[in-house]
Amino acid sequence: MKTTFEDSDMNTIMEGAENAIAEFFNSTQRKELNYNDLKQDISSILGNPKDSLDIIKARLSKMDSNTIKALVTNNKHIDES
């Protein structure tokens, strides 16, 4: 099947967005914010919504105040002070 210019352009945009999100999380250098692990969590939640609370609790249990600080300070639009 031949893809249209719009399909190709949309795929490029989606890949770019995913890469930017992955770079954001991975640049925190926190293993609990590893993009591939977070992506797997989301996939698991979508695949089995009944387990979503357990999946979220498990992810949050791996986080501490340093994780939250890494998320906030990694955003170029937020000043650490």
Domain ranges of the chain: 5-73
**Per residue in 24-74, pLDDT tens?**
999 999 999 999 999 999 999 999 999 999 999 999 999 999 898 888 888
Cα three-residue angle 70-28-79, rounded to 5 degrees: 45
Residue 3 has pLDDT above 90, yes or no: no
Question: Is 18 a residue whose pLDDT tops 90?
Answer: yes
- Does the CA dihedral 23-29-33-36 come out positive or negative? positive
| Amino acid type, 70 | A
pLDDT value for 71: 84
